[in-house]
Structure 1
């Protein structure tokens, strides 16, 4: 039996804390998406490590991670990533984009990204999902899902033929799908509350947000909990076509 193979395109450096506790962001994603009998490879695309053209055919699907970089910038590695995503689209490969990955996937398909007019979104956000989309209806996903968010950029314009299947009061395009092979999620279904608290501390240390605001965020976050299991099943079903009906 041939083992299914997937590729993680890592777009950020691992903080020491995440590296020690989770084995880096690759380890965080494996906890959410990895299953027995699979092979997962990682490519640190932000450091210029990309899969060769000959290797692309080995993979059933690709996951594009979050990043501290801007998806609308023209850094050499981002331009190279855009070319890879366009190639994967042409090959109809499954691609799941998370946060920065959601934004850069949109850009690669012809959409537009940029700074969110409403500013940072940090914490737990309620996402309204489209009941008409078969992505959710086949899995009997609830009409509202909570997810961890940590971003200040957003998708501003979808590529033609793309479909909005999730939105929030803060962000108009929280989830989109393009055909049956590409999907972007603005939030972080892979994050734990522990990682979110660590990121809030880092944002304060780097003067991206005020210390008082960081304390307010932590207090507010403690009142809620993301629907991590539902997101996990949604992402696995999209990437692998696994039948999860009636399991939510």
Structure 2
């Protein structure tokens, strides 16, 4: 089964050298499911020809804001709408979660409440998730077709579904403690408030539900109805 990874950003240089670029994180997360991958770095202007070029799609995280003026964002939104209309399975992570919401009629903003970083608990109709977060932007207005599957006090729309074939999540199931530690040490200072850095650093050993999330994502990509 071929999964198209719509890459919306590259890993920071330090992470790139030690842990790999953004698509590699998802290949590791979804190992064991016999997926093959076609990478489309849409942030560099590389797009598939059709919404059916792959069996399913995954949109990655990014340093960019969904609301920012980049040449590649309008065609990505158009592709999202075509994938959705065609009923092809689609998963979005962090920026992917946000751009899907924006493309389908919601709103994304730089959240006035600040940052969410590190191990974070989310609750919803399917129980509790504990996943690593790294974001300030978030969905603030739901699209008409969205259903909320997980939330936290900081992020009320942390996981969403759209019909039976689209699933999106704001935190990063692909980020383990090593990735978060690297971001906290090299990207957070001067950007993320010190008290959040300290709290996230203390929580690096927190057991997450990333493996459960990987199974959920794999099931959606395989076409299992939500």
TM-score, scaled relative to structure 1: 0.84
Per-residue deviation, 1:202: 3.0
Number of the residue aligned with 1:16: 13
Contact 1:33 1:236 in 2 (8 A): yes
Per-residue deviation, 1:36: 5.5
> Which consecutive residues of structure 1, in runs of 5 or more, have no partner in the other structure?
132-142, 244-248
Number of the residue aligned with 2:202: 220
Distance 1:59 1:124, change over 3 A: same
Query: Which of 72, 75, 78 is the aligned partner of 2:70?
Result: 75
Distance 1:26 1:200, change over 3 A: same
Number of the residue aligned with 1:209: 192
Contact 1:34 1:40 in 2 (8 A): no
Per-residue deviation, 1:123: 1.1
Distance 1:38 1:216, change over 3 A: closer
Number of the residue aligned with 1:120: 115
> 2 CA distance for matches of 1:37 and 1:154?
32
The alignment yields a C-alpha RMSD, in angstroms, of 1.9
Once structures 1 and 2 are overlaid, which stretch shifts more, 180-189 or 71-80? Answer: 71-80
Q: Which structure: larger Rg?
A: 1
Number of the residue aligned with 2:39: 42
What is the DSSP-based 3-state SS (H/G/I as helix, E as strand, rest coil) of the residue aligned with 1:170? coil
Number of the residue aligned with 1:91: 86
Select the structure that is richer in helix: 1
Query: Which of 151, 173, 184 is the aligned partner of 1:189?
Result: 173
Once structures 1 and 2 are overlaid, which stretch shifts more, 21-30 or 152-161? Answer: 21-30
Contact 2:110 2:136 in 1 (8 A): yes
List 4+ stretches of structure 1 deviating above 6 A: none
> 2 CA distance for matches of 1:181 and 1:218?
33
> Which consecutive residues of structure 2, in runs of 5 or more, have no partner in the other structure?
none
